[in-house]
Amino acid sequence: MLHLAEALNFSGRKVVAVQAALPFPVVHGRSLRDTLHTQQQALPWKPLSSGGEQQVSRCFAQSVVLRGICKEKPSSCPGKRPASTLQASETEEEILQLYLQTLFPGAFSTSHVLEQPCPTLPPYPQFFSSLLTKQGLISEEPLSSSSAAVESIPVVTALQSAPVLHAVLHGLYKELRRLDTRRWASFFAAGVEEEDFREALHDLRTLADCYKTHFEDDESEDEADSD
């Protein structure tokens, strides 16, 4: 994980945010191509890291892994002109890669698609919707109440170096700066020097600024004025 985070960061950045969809919303009988096409500009995941919802098209670099997607059969109409770029893609990896390029133009993206789903057999908690099949796919019709528990689900996860981390790190810096170190004598008695603490605080703010873009400039200036 450390090496992957390092590979996704540059220009002084060191932290990545985590996104996931569990399960990844795939309707039974539909392909990855159809699923991503219906997503349009919506993100197919939710943030697991603090910092709020991520803005589309704002990402420096990311690594995305999608599990539990079967390979699509080749098109039966080879001479037909594709309706979209996704339709022109041949493999699931190409479909996902082009989708990411559309959502995050200019960002460095790597993607992997694996057929093996994430197993959810006991003791995995069964908190899933009753609309999910045993394979974790969305059913277009209500399932029988006597249906067995969900045995596996498709999952998508993303590690991202993104501007949303500016708010996370800067917020942490502000909280630490409010500490009255004179009230924590036992903390510094453990071996931490006041100068080292201040230096670490400065490094944290510098790291936060590495994730700042022009979208965050105005907000940061307002915060500085209020301080």
In a domain, 183, yes or no: yes
Domain of 17, in residue numbers = 1-161
Judged against a pLDDT cut of 80, whether residue 133 lies above it is answered with yes
Q: Which amino acid is at 187?
A: F
Percent of the chain past pLDDT 90, that is, above it, reads 41
Residue 81 has pLDDT above 90, yes or no: no
For residues 32 and 73, membership in a common domain is answered with: yes
Q: Are residues 85 and 181 in the same domain?
A: no
* pLDDT tens string 10-59: 889 999 999 999 999 998 888 888 888 887 777 889 998 876 666 566 89
Place of tokens 């039966």: 76
43 shares its domain with 100? yes
Per the structure, how many domains does the chain have?
2
Tokens 């917020």 belong to residue: 171
Same domain, 48 and 122: yes
Banded pLDDT at 206 (limits 50, 70, 90): very high
Please give the radius of gyration of the chain, using alpha carbons only, rounded to the nearest integer.
22
Residue 223 within any structural domain of the chain: no
Domain-located, residue 152: yes
pLDDT tier for residue 180 given thresholds of 50, 70 and 90: confident
- Residue 54 domain-assigned? yes
pLDDT of residue 79: 43
Shared domain for 96 and 52, answered yes or no, is: yes
Same domain, 136 and 180: no
pLDDT of amino acid 183: 79
pLDDT at 186: 77
| Residue that terminates a domain, selected from 161, 184, 202 | 161
Lowest-confidence segment of 6-10, 37-41, 121-125, 167-171 by average pLDDT: 37-41
Report strand pairing: 61-67 vs 108-114: parallel
* pLDDT tier, 202 (very low <50, low <70, confident <90, very high otherwise): very high
Residue 218 lies in a domain: no
CB contact at 8 A, 157 and 20: yes
Q: What is the pTM of this model?
A: 0.80
Instruction: Return the pLDDT at 42.
Output: 79
pLDDT reported for residue 201: 94
Q: Are 143 and 45 in contact (CB under 8 A)?
A: no
- Would 52 be classed as within a structural domain? yes
